[in-house]
Structure 1
Amino acid sequence: MAWLALEYADSVLQNQTRVQVIVPDQIDGPLQSLYLLHGLGDDGSAWQRKTNLEALVADKQVAVIMPAVGRSWYQDVPKGVPYWTFLTESLPRYMNQLLPLSPRAVDHFVAGNSMGGYGALKWASAQPQQFGAVGALSPVTDFAVLPKIQPDWAAAFPDGRPAPVSYTASVPLFLAIGQQDFLYPQFQEFVTHRVTSKPKIFTAAGAHDWQFWQLALSQLIDWLPLTSTHTEKGILA
């Protein structure tokens, strides 16, 4: 696999930005894509530094795209940076220009952890026609928790805390949560009352941390309909 750290001037952000991207060494044709969204206090490099993501997709024909949006909650921050417009408009446009991505919506996926899990649910709900599947690992789905985890939360939500998240899109959904995660009660309430489809759910012993997310990421990659790389006999993959 090739790991790219792209630094470029984004037209929406009106600034330089960094996006981490994994692509196969051997590209057999149009690539699938997986947008992986980071959590609060991280950036796109967290997936490289804290999981074995590269090994998990080593035999897949997928481009894994990992943007950085600070502490924005994937919002267009009022009087701040338009990260939502960047994520949903200019970033996909740039990736499509840069990479040989499939033109079929079913070949594109979005997932994230914690704040990024919220971002993935939000994006798939807003643009279900863009994705074949969505994954949320330990997602924040009830913003009553915001003051506990982010003292500066009002910078992203100056009009007050948003309503609890609902998921009504028809895009297939993978959910994961650690049984000792402090978000476990809100996760159960979300699944029981605010998800209209029947998601694939993975749960195991674990907290709100990278030890559990590594395990959940492996389950997510296995669940996604990713295309395998064709390797010729005698050629190293």
Structure 2
Amino acid sequence: MALAQTSFFSDVLGLSCSMNVILPQQTKRQIGLEGKAADGRFPVLYLLHGLSDDHSIWLRRTSIERYAAQYGLAVVMPAVARSFYTDMKVGHRYWTFVSEELPEIAGALFPLSDRREDTFAAGLSMGGYGAFKLGLACPDRFAAVASLSGGLDIRGRYDRAGVVALAEVESILGKREEAVGGPNDLFALAEQLSSLPKARQPLLYQCCGTEDFLYGENVAFREHARSLGLPLTYEEGPGEHEWGYWDAQIRRVLEWLPLQQL
């Protein structure tokens, strides 16, 4: 695998931004690792960080580079601050950046496939929300998306927030009455997705530890998705909101992705 630590300018954000990109490399002489790479443009996983993290965190806390090597899969890890992958009410348009501009920039800089069947997203916590949002809102561009311990119910952001936290939530999502049922509400997006033909619905993978403080809202989303007949794979087991759990689960996600075998 090759690692590119990239700085670039975003016209959408009006900012210089950062992303880390892992690229497949065909190798035979690396000790303990045999890299694989298909000819042509690479399938790509957009791997999203949580609320307190940045584009470097997956490389620092997991072995994602080693795990991805056997699949010939490129991994794009952008930084989006504490935006909750939204066009913020007070702040920057991070949803437009992640869903539209980032794939264009990454595809122009690196040999990434733009085919739906080669495009995936995954993330943890806030990033789990972001990954599911990409799949539910952009089903024609993502074949499969995965949420690890995702913060999936925006209503919970309002219910649990104190005065200071509520101010941040409202700066991101707006007032509760405009957020619930709107374009940032995964439950509403899931209902919209269910009206599409099955072939146009991306595969969904969801997992959460049973001791995680977000477990309740993960169960609620699971039941909602199942009631709508969405193609959801759900797994749970002992685990908290921590990197040991996510390091193990990202391996499960890579095994689950509908990748062509090299």
Q: TM (normalized to structure 2)?
A: 0.82
Number of the residue aligned with 1:10: 10
Q: Any idea what SS the aligned residue of 2:241 has? A: coil
Query: 1:179-221 CA distances to partner (integer Å, 9 max, x unpaired)?
Result: 1111112211111124421411121210011111111111101
1:113 Cα offset (Å):
0.8
Q: 2:240 is matched with which residue: 207, 210, 218?
A: 207
Q: Which amino acid aligns with 2:130?
A: G
2:143 aligned with 1:110, yes or no? no
- Correspondence for 2:76: 65
The one-character-per-residue Cα deviations of 1:80-103 (angstroms, maximum 9, x if unpaired) are 111111111111111111122224
The CA deviation at 1:117 is 0.8
Unmatched tracts of structure 1, length 5 or more: 230-237
Matched, 1:186 2:202: no
| 8 Å CA contact 1:59, 1:228 repeated in 2 | no
Instruction: Give matches, 1:42-121, under 5 Å.
Output: 42-121=53-132
Q: 1:75 to 1:103 in 2, by over 3 A?
A: closer
1:18 is aligned with what amino acid? S
**Which whole-Å CA distance do the structure 2 matches of 1:142 and 1:228 have between them?**
35
User: How has the CA–CA distance of structure 1 residues 24 and 194 changed in structure 2, closer, same or farther, with 3 Å as cutoff?
Assistant: closer
User: Deviations for 1:136-182, whole angstroms, at most 9, x for unmatched residues?
Assistant: 11111223432547812222123237325322431111111101111
Q: 1:75 & 1:118 partners in 2: Cα distance?
A: 10
- The answer to whether the 8 Å contact 2:25/2:72 transfers is no
% identical equivalent positions: 37
Larger deviation, residues 160-169 vs 117-126: 160-169
Partner SS, residue 246 of structure 2 = helix
Higher helix share: 2
What is the CA distance between 1:47 and its match in structure 2?
0.5
Name stretches of at least 5 consecutive residues in structure 2 with no aligned partner: 27-36, 194-200
Partners of 1:178 and 1:203 within 8 A in 2: yes
CA distance in 2, matches of 1:193, 1:158: 24
| 2:198 paired with 1:165 | no
2:154 to 118, 139, 143: 143
Aligned residue for 1:106, secondary structure, equals helix
* Aligned length in residues: 229
Between the aligned partners of 2:173 and 2:112, the Cα distance in structure 1 is 34
CA contact (8 A) 2:89 2:170 kept: no
CA offsets, 1:27-70, max 9 Å, x none? 43220000011111011211100111011111222210011111
Distance in structure 2 (CA, Å) of the matches to 1:97 and 1:222: 28
CA distance in 1, matches of 2:224, 2:90: 34
Question: 2:222–2:234: 8 Å Cα contact kept in structure 1?
Answer: no
Aligned partner of 1:233 in structure 2 is none
**C-alpha root-mean-square deviation of aligned residues, in Å?**
1.8
**For residues 25 and 158 of structure 1, what CA distance do their matches in structure 2 show?**
44
8 Å CA contact retained: 2:136, 2:186: no
- Separation in 1 of the partners of 2:123 and 2:233? 15
